[in-house]
């Protein structure tokens, strides 16, 4: 069975796979658990200068990527699957959405540059718009890598331990809350600031029922402090 295929429409194909070519994701790439093809949008442009953008109708700062060039690049992709445009105005990328996307056979990710892309390209080819957060990047490539990383780690066999994924922040088993803190040896540690920090005794007790209870309490307290919206239900994890 073929793994998840990412088609990335970009002006900078050399940015891929980036960090995803290393560690567990890199090993999964070698095994064929996932694959990618970085399609150079500029290769779809014509003329001596291979121009991919033009001035916006209605005026304004910056340049806009042309719809016809994006379409030409997209038509070179044999199997697009779900088509996604990485955009700060898009639907927030959540763990629930990541899980949904990771179950697809193929995803096509459009990485914008300049002031964005001509809306007609998005409309004509029914791109979904997805945002990785409430901030603006200089291009969609870092956002695409983040979406890819989030999907890849959910593929069967990539992480190696499904229990690890089950207990992470936003997971269903964790109740959609943020993850509890972690500790390891040594039990008592003196930091460079001269203070001594001890790992919680409950974690060293061997009482798994008490440990589970402590971890749930910690998750709830951390979520209340940092992401109260997850508890109120304003946003779905």
Q: What is the pTM of this model?
A: 0.90
Percent of residues, the chain, with pLDDT higher than 90: 86
CA distance 48 to 141: 26
Q: What is the mean pLDDT of the chain?
A: 93
Q: Once rounded to an integer, what is the mean pLDDT over residues 171-200?
A: 91
CATH of region 165-232: 1.10.1270.20
How many helices and strands (H and E) does the chain possess? Answer: 8, 9
Q: In what order do the strands lie in the sheet with 82-92?
A: 34-40, 4-10, 106-110, 82-92, 128-131
Indicate if the alpha-carbon torsion angle 131, 135, 136, 139 is positive or negative. negative
Helix (H, G, I), strand (E, B) or coil at 108: strand
What is the predicted pLDDT for the residue at 22? 98
Q: What is the band of 235 on the pLDDT scale with cuts at 50, 70, 90?
A: very low
In CATH, the number for domain 4-152 is 3.40.1280.10
Alpha-carbon distance values, 126 to 107, 110, 129, 157, 181 (Å): 13, 12, 9, 32, 41
Instruction: For the chain, give the percent of residues with pLDDT over 70.
Output: 92
Cα 71 off chain centre by:
24
String of DSSP letters for 60-72: -SS-EE-HHHHHH
> What is the biggest distance separating any 2 CA atoms in the chain, rounded to whole angstroms?
71
Tens of pLDDT, residue by residue over 34-82, are 999 999 999 999 988 899 999 999 999 999 999 999 999 999 999 999 9
pLDDT above 90: residue 173: no
Range 80-87 average pLDDT: 98
Q: pLDDT per residue over 200-234, tens digit each? A: 999 999 999 999 999 999 999 999 999 999 996 54
Strand runs labelled E in the chain: 4-10, 34-40, 53-54, 64-65, 82-92, 106-110, 128-131, 188-190, 196-198
State in Å, rounded, how far the first CA of the chain is from the last one: 30
pLDDT number for residue 236: 45
Average pLDDT over residues 171-180: 80
Per-residue pLDDT at 166: 64
Q: Which sequence spans correspond to the domains of the chain?
A: 4-152, 165-232
pLDDT for residue 234: 47
The predicted structure's pLDDT at residue 168: 72
pLDDT of residue 18: 98
Mean pLDDT over residues 190-206, rounded?
A: 97
Q: Name the residue among 132, 153, 134, 154 with its Cα closest to residue 143.
A: 132
Does 4-152 match 165-232 in CATH topology?
no
- Write the DSSP symbol of residue 201: G
């Amino acid at each position: 069975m073929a793994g998840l295929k990412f088609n990335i429409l970009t002006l900078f194909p050399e940015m891929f796979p980036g960090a995803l070519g290393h560690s567990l994701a890199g090993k999964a790439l070698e095994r064929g658990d996932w694959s990618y093809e970085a399609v150079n949008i500029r290769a779809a442009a014509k003329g001596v200068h291979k121009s991919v953008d033009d001035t916006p109708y209605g005026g304004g700062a910056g340049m806009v990527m042309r719809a016809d060039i994006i379409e030409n690049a997209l038509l070179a992709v044999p199997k697009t699957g779900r088509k996604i445009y990485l955009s700060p105005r898009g639907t927030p990328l959540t763990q629930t959405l990541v899980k949904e996307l990771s179950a697809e056979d193929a995803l096509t990710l459009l990485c914008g540059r300049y002031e964005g892309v001509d809306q007609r390209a998005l409309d004509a080819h029914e791109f979904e718009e997805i945002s990785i957060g409430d901030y603006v990047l200089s291009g969609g490539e870092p956002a695409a890598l983040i979406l890819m990383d989030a999907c890849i780690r959910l593929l069967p066999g990539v992480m190696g331990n499904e229990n690890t994924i089950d207990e992470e922040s936003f997971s269903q088993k964790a109740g959609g809350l943020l993850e509890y803190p972690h500790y390891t040896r040594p039990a008592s540690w003196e930091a460079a600031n001269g203070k001594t920090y001890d790992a919680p005794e409950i974690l060293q007790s061997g009482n798994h029922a008490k440990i589970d209870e402590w971890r749930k309490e910690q998750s709830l307290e951390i979520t209340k402090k940092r992401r109260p919206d997850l508890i109120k239900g304003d946003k779905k994890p």
